[in-house]
Every structure is written in C-alpha cells, then in structure tokens.
Structure 1
Amino acid sequence: MKYTILAFALFFFGAVQSQILEPVKWSTSVEKVSNKEYVLVATAIIEPHWHLYSQNVPEDGPVPTVFTFINNGSFLKKGNTSEDKGLTVNDPVFEMQIKYFENKATFRQTVRLKNETPLSINGKVEFMVCDDTRCLPPTEIDLVFTLK
C-alpha cells in the first residue's frame, strides 16, 4: 500500500511540475567600453508562439518589462535601458497597438563606475508574456552582471 501511495504521489508531482510554463529564459553579459564604463546586457530567449512585452506599453495594457539595478553607490546609470526594435502590432488579447518581442530580445543599460570596479552588479527584471490566447502572471527574475 505504501508503494502505491508513493507511486501516485510521484506521478501527481510530476504532472503538476510539467504544467509550469516558463517560456522566457534570461541570460546576462557585460561589454566593457572603458575602465569605468560598461554596458549591462540582458537577453531574453522566448519560446515560439509567446511574446514578451516592451518596456513601453500603453496604459491599461499588459505589464511592461521593467529593469531594476541594485545600486550600492558604486555606479551611475547613463540614460535609460534600451531595447531592440521589436514588433508593434494590434494585440488580440489587449485590443490595442502594443510593442512586443518574439524569439529573442536584448536590453542594454550603460553604467559608469564611481570608484573601484565591483565584481558584479545585481538587478531584477519584471516581465509578462502572452501567446494568442492567454497571458502568464508577471514574473520577477534576479539578474547578475559579472564585470571582467
């Protein structure tokens, strides 16, 4: 009887785990511009049929992609986080013109170091993804940008 319950529990856990959708995978890199200036690069790889929304979306639209860089006083942000061109379409879910990304999106933030070079800069990205019929709840992911 114990083995039957254990087998059922493992089957149920596996079925629940297989339903967790994570259609976006994030990676980070750093481009050195000078001794004090770096570009922090966050790249999203997006599964087919899903799209990731821009940082700039209309009010009453989806949750925009938002980057937060955790600053302990060691750097200054130069400008805003830039993003790829993306696609601007009439979104069937939100019924408005919205910019989003398919397959891949790259975001860049230039920073200028104040003094010593930190080993890394930490950040977070909050984002929302949809396909043509549904949207997943907003997700927040920790990012680490390792300086070389």
Structure 2
Amino acid sequence: MKKIVSILLLFYVIGSNAQIYNPVKWTTSVVKISESEYELIAKASIEKGWHLYSQTVPEEGPLPTKFSFDGKGEYLKKGNTKEEEGHVVSDPIYGMKIKYFENKTIFKQRIKIKDKVPKQINANVEFMACDDSKCLPPKQVELIFKIK
C-alpha cells in the first residue's frame, strides 16, 4: 500500500510541477509576400535566465525546436523553417557546443497557396526550455496563423 501511495504522490508532484512553469510564450503573425505566397512568423518570448534550443542540435544533446505544419493540401512549404542567429555556447548541462536563443527569437516559414487562401494555418512547435542548471520537460504548443 505504501508503494502505491508513494507512486501516486510522485506522479502528482511531477504533473503539477510540469504544468506550472512555462518560460516560453509564443505569438504568431502572417506577412503576405505575393498573391499566392505568405510568410508565417512564430515569435518566442523567453523569460530572463532561460533559453530555447535551435532546430539543429548535436546528437546526444537536448531536444531541438521542431515545427510541424498541418497543410491539409492547401499549401506547399517553400524550404525549411528559418531561424535567427542565436548564440553558440558551451552548454553546461549537456557539455557540448549548442546554439540557443535568449530573450526572444523569430522563426519564419514561407508557404505557397495552391488554390483558395485558407483563413488560418495550424502548426505545432515542440521545444525544450532550460536555464543554467535544469531543463523543463519537452512541451508542444499549437500555433495558429490567421490569414487576413
């Protein structure tokens, strides 16, 4: 009985801690490039002392930031999602050189609409936030890009 109570308490503590703190907030916008091309912009605002990893990190490193776009056949992605320069540092947690972003960063994805312009485009971003001593569990956030 003690084991069951201990396990339930552990899951409660882990679950409640993982849901409380979120040092990365996401906002989206859309820029019209031409009649059929748009740029989807995802901006991450990162609390002081925390960082968000690049889309490309070395093997055995942290979870990279990953975008997935739900196209439903309405558009084509033009190239990969672009990111800002960021900082390449010797990460104290992983013991390797890793590119990450502090304070804020912007990711951009160009798309070409096939036929009719959709009202919005849905995407997901999966990421991991860390400070100099710990990392939070990976998180997935839905992004909605509204097209006017």
TM-score by length of 1: 0.87
For residue 139 of structure 1, what is the aligned residue in structure 2?
139
Take 1:124 and 1:71, find their aligned partners in 2: how far apart are those partners? 12
For residue 55 of structure 2, what is the aligned residue in structure 1?
55
For residue 96 of structure 1, what is the aligned residue in structure 2?
96
State the shift of 1:116 in Å. Answer: 0.4
For residue 125 of structure 1, what is the aligned residue in structure 2?
125
Q: Which has the larger radius of gyration?
A: 1
State the shift of 1:20 in Å. Answer: 1.2
Query: What does the per-residue CA deviation read over 1:93-144, in whole Å, with 9 as the maximum and x for residues that have no partner?
Result: 0000000000001000000000000000000000001000000000000000
State the shift of 1:66 in Å. Answer: 0.1
1:54 alignment partner AA: S
Which runs of 5 or more structure 1 residues have no equivalent in the other structure?
Answer: 1-15
For residue 6 of structure 2, what is the aligned residue in structure 1?
none
Query: What does the per-residue CA deviation read over 1:17-38, in whole Å, with 9 as the maximum and x for residues that have no partner?
Result: 8x81100000000010011000
Take 2:47 and 2:143, find their aligned partners in 1: how far apart are those partners? 20
For residue 82 of structure 2, what is the aligned residue in structure 1?
82
Query: Within the alignment, does 1:42 sit opposite 2:42 as a pair?
Result: yes
2:20 partner SS? coil
- Give the alignment of 1:61-80 within 5 angstroms: 61-80=61-80
Query: Within the alignment, does 1:108 sit opposite 2:108 as a pair?
Result: yes
Take 2:72 and 2:125, find their aligned partners in 1: how far apart are those partners? 18
Query: What is the root-mean-square deviation in Å for CA atoms of aligned residues?
Result: 1.1
Report the count of equivalent residues.
132
Take 1:105 and 1:59, find their aligned partners in 2: how far apart are those partners? 23
TM-score by length of 2: 0.87
1:59 alignment partner AA: E
Query: What does the per-residue CA deviation read over 1:28-70, in whole Å, with 9 as the maximum and x for residues that have no partner?
Result: 0001001100000000000000000000000000000000000
For residue 6 of structure 1, what is the aligned residue in structure 2?
none
1:135 partner SS? coil
2:38 alignment partner AA: Y
For residue 8 of structure 1, what is the aligned residue in structure 2?
none
Take 1:52 and 1:27, find their aligned partners in 2: how far apart are those partners? 15
State the shift of 1:71 in Å. Answer: 1.0
